[in-house]
Amino acid sequence: MPPQEPARRLSSRAVKIGVVSVLSIAVTSACGTKSTTAWCVDRLAPPTGATKGGYKVVPDSYCDRREIENGVVGYGRYFWYYGGKRDRTGYVHGGSYSAPRSHRIKSGSGHSLIRGGFGGHGRSGG
């Protein structure tokens, strides 16, 4: 019977890298996966038919991103409305005037406005 080779052992560096990778994925999954849509809406657009109580979604350029970064509610004609669902007529319903603190915020057009997650908010770069 031939002699058996000793079992291969992983170096401590390989084990550390593996553990760090698994922890990174776990923290990222637990903390940064939820996002909320911020819709730029027109406060004065008239509700019509089934859209009563909703707000008309307008292009993001009408709203001020600094309101999101500073956590304030705009009181002008155009403001950010968080969450809710947009219907086929272009109105959004069921959201909130207040931004959630623990979520990433993206605009209705898909642009990242604030990256939330572990430790708080980060500011948008553009």
- Looking at per-residue pLDDT, the higher value among 46 and 4 belongs to 46
Phi-psi region of 20 (alpha: psi -120 to 50; beta: other; left: phi over 0): alpha
Contact 63, 40 (CB under 8 A): yes
Beta strands 35-42 and 104-107 are parallel
Q: State mean pLDDT over 90-115.
A: 83
Dihedral in degrees, nearest 10, Cα atoms 41, 46, 52, 57: -20
pLDDT, residue 101, reads 75
pLDDT number for residue 62 = 94
Mean of all residue pLDDT scores within the chain = 73
Higher-pLDDT residue of 99, 93: 93
What is the model's pTM?
Answer: 0.61
In sequence order, the 6+-apart residues with CB closer than 8 A to the CB of 109 are 59, 60
